């Protein structure tokens, strides 16, 4: 855990304290920019496929992206919302510590950042425009996975993080509002289509309000991994027959 960010990681967020790290905390790492190299990311996917032998290729890429976005988005968003930290998380600034199976274990940032202006905007530009966006484009292009599926993974994790932070009195209302705008606006600040718009919704069902993704992450196509439950927009018929009524689920990976 980065010492200056320690106040972020209590309660729900304690299990994400090691998602960000400083140089020297991990014995080896891959440069973030190397994830945009065809051979590097292919080798990682081959390693990851050994964790889920026989798994659907699209689902493997989707699940790998969820691991990566969980390590990246949750602690970075917590640092922005709780501490007003501007972290250098651009893909070409960071390194990636890996688990044995090729999944992201931590995002290694060059330093612990600086304070954001008290009334700053574009707090999340480094995170989404300069890390998530380039990585989504490369994964989609190399592996033929839908960009919308990958952005849905990112939006799901980001929306969950904002949801959890919103119940904490330490959260900055302006940062929370800016985050919600990223999820609810049809276009970004430059007038381009917003890739996260509408990808997580709250819908009425059987007298309840349920949280649901718009695009399935395909994780149920991996051996040993069940469907996400109520958050899945298209739960497999087999799951429905075994599990009964769809219930609300909040998932972070």
DSSP secondary structure code for residue 142 in this structure: H
DSSP, collapsed to helix, strand or coil, labels residue 174 as: helix
Q: How far apart, in whole angstroms, are the C-alpha atoms of residue 137 and residue 183?
A: 19
Q: Is the pLDDT of residue 45 over 90?
A: yes
- Decide: 89 and 127 in contact? Cβ < 8 Å: yes
Summarised one tens digit per residue, pLDDT across range 197-224 is 988 887 777 777 777 778 877 788 888 8
Q: What is the mean pLDDT of the chain?
A: 86
* pLDDT (0 to 100) of residue 231: 67
> Taking 90 as the threshold, does the pLDDT of residue 249 lie above it?
no
Predicted confidence at residue 211, as pLDDT, reads 77
Asked if residue 103 has pLDDT above 80, the reply is yes
- pLDDT for 250 beyond 70: no
Evaluate whether 184 touches 100 at the Cβ level (below 8 Å). no
For range 127-151, the mean pLDDT: 95
The Cα–Cα gap between 160 and 94 comes to 24
Position 60 scores a pLDDT of 95
177: exposed, middle or buried (C-beta count within 10 Å: 0-12, 13-18, 19+)? exposed
The domains located in the chain, with CATH, are: 3-198 (1.10.510), 202-243 (no CATH)
Please give the Cα distance from 114 to 86 (Å, whole number): 5
DSSP 41-96: HHHHHHHHHTTSTT--HHHHHHHHHHHHHHHHHHHHHHHHHHH-EE----TTT-EE
Mean pLDDT is highest, among 100-109, 110-119, 187-196, 236-245, for 100-109
Residues β-bridged to residue 213: 200
- pLDDT at site 119: 65
Residue 237 has pLDDT above 60, yes or no: no
Binning the chain into helix, strand and coil, the percentages to the nearest 5 are 45, 10, 40
At 85, list the tokens: 């930290």
């Amino acid at each position: 855990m980065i010492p200056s960010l320690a106040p972020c990681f209590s309660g729900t967020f304690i299990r994400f304290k090691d998602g960000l790290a400083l140089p020297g905390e991990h014995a080896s790492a891959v440069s973030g920019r190397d994830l945009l190299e065809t051979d590097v990311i292919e080798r990682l996917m081959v390693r990851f496929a050994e964790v889920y032998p026989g798994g659907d290729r699209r689902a493997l890429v989707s699940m790998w992206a969820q691991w990566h976005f969980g390590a990246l988005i949750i602690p970075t968003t917590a640092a922005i919302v709780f501490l007003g930290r501007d972290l250098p998380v651009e893909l070409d600034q960071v390194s990636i510590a890996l688990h044995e199976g090729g999944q992201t274990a931590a995002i290694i940032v060059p330093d612990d950042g600086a304070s954001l202006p008290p009334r700053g905007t574009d707090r999340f530009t480094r995170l989404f425009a300069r890390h998530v966006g380039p990585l989504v484009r490369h994964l989609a292009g190399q592996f033929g996975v839908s960009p919308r599926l990958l952005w849905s993974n990112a939006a799901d994790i980001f929306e969950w993080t904002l949801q959890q932070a919103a119940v904490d009195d330490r959260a900055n209302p302006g940062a929370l509002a800016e985050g919600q705008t990223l999820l609810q606006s049809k276009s970004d600040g430059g007038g381009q289509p917003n890739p996260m718009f509408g990808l997580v919704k709250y819908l009425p069902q059987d007298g309840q309000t349920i949280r649901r993704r718009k695009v399935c992450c395909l994780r149920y196509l991996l051996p040993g991994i069940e469907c996400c439950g109520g958050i899945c927009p298209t739960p497999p018929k087999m799951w429905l027959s075994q599990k009964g009524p769809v219930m609300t689920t909040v998932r972070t990976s």
